[in-house]
Amino acid sequence: MLNLKVGDEYHALMNRLSQIDEERLTATDFYAKLNEIRFELNLLKARSDRCEESSRESGCGFHVGEVVSFDTWRALEQRYAENAKHADELETKIYSNINSYDFKAMNIKIRAKVDFLDLYFETTKPSTRHDIKKFLTEKTGIRHYIKDSLNGYVIRLHDMNLLKLLKERLRCLDHFGLLHQSMKIVELEVALDFYGYKHLGLATALLKSLRLPSTANNLRVFKTQTGVFVPIPVNPIVLHRKLKDGFNIGINHRLADEYWHIYQKQTDQNGTPLKESEWRIRAEKNIKKPVLSRMNNSFSNIRQLLLESFKGLRFTHLKAEASSHQVCVYMNKIDVYGMEKEAYLDSQRNWRKLAPDIEMNAELNRMVVNAVCNLAKNFKHYS
């Protein structure tokens, strides 16, 4: 008679799975233990299959409980699936919480970029926007968006992260008698790219921690369909599913003077897929003319304009001394915790605009400032 004691080992695995639920493990440790049990599960099943096959060939019987039946395996697989789902959801909540991040230790790199800028300019030679567009395409091989505006034109320039590159492109406009003193930046979109992220939950973490003015509204997720408002889910698991499905996060209407946008960037501006190593979580801020003009939007002031614009991409986090209740709420509920409130005096008689349990994220903001300063160096000769 076969005496493999498979049933006893099966019950031991079931007990270990139950114990995982009771242990306070990180998501990484949770997965490690699950995978360890999964490996033993496969070995056990192989032994059970051999036992059953040998019994049929030899005609020998075996005791019930010495092999794992089909129903038993299904029960074990279901238990494993439930624990795996629990681990997935726990991991998502952890990575959706900015307090879980040590960006340097996790080797997450931050790069500041100019996504695009719209430049107003005037010329001395009679011409049309079609003339200018055709000439630029012939000279650069790049098709540009140009529109008529007031006494001149507005041209959109993408990925201008070097003043040298920007000036080379503008030099083409000298063919039409470019009036350099007329150049003004009338729309600007700046971005922070987070490379080397381990989980899409970082997009949620940035949303929850982004410092926003009290006037921010129209918080939503969107994909391709326009005219349909979809509010940001309160549950981080639901938001994560939408982000995986290609949804973006938007704050304020896209035509508002200020607009924020958070998403996973997997394609370039032309829609061409990027290499997986080039994927990143991107946080953007778009600024229109009414705000830019208050900063002095002359092209000659571009470096200072960039420095001021990136101030709209700063982040907060939960205070270390926050109550256990607030820690639980922050972990399990999506909200814009970094949104400013009406100014009030805190317990130290200091004026504050952030909620009592929220403060600026010094470590992350230091990395952001360094990234912005590195970008600004590329424009330091024209300020």
pLDDT for 21 equals: 62
Q: Kindly state whether residues 81 and 114 are assigned to the same domain.
A: no
Determine the pLDDT at residue 66.
Answer: 44
> What is the model's pLDDT at position 76?
62
Q: Both 68 and 137 in a single domain?
A: no
Q: Which of 363, 372, 287, 291 is nearest to 113 (CA)?
A: 372
Give the three-class secondary structure for 22: helix
Tell me, rounded to whole angstroms, the distance of Cα 304 from its chain centroid. 26
Q: Residue 333: inside a domain, yes or no?
A: yes
Domain shared by 177 and 318, yes or no: yes
Domain span at 90: 6-94
Domain tally, the chain: 2
Please indicate, yes or no, if residue 100 is contained in any of the structural domains.
no
Please report whether residue 204 resides in a domain.
yes
**What is the per-residue pLDDT for 382?**
46
Q: Which residues of the chain have pLDDT under 70?
A: 1-7, 21-28, 30-31, 52-74, 76-77, 80, 225, 381-383
Looking at residue 12, what is its pLDDT? 81
> Which pLDDT value is given to residue 9?
77
H or E element at residue 318: strand 316-318
Q: Are 319 and 265 in contact (CB under 8 A)?
A: no
d(CA 140, CA 115): 19
Q: What is 167-211 written as a DSSP string?
A: HHHHHGGGGGTEEEEEEEEEEEEEEEEEES-S-THHHHHHHHHB-
User: Are residues 84 and 159 both part of a single domain?
Assistant: no
Is 153 in a helix, a strand, or coil? strand
Cα–Cα distances in Å, from 70 out to 37, 39, 45, 48, 171? 18, 18, 10, 10, 75
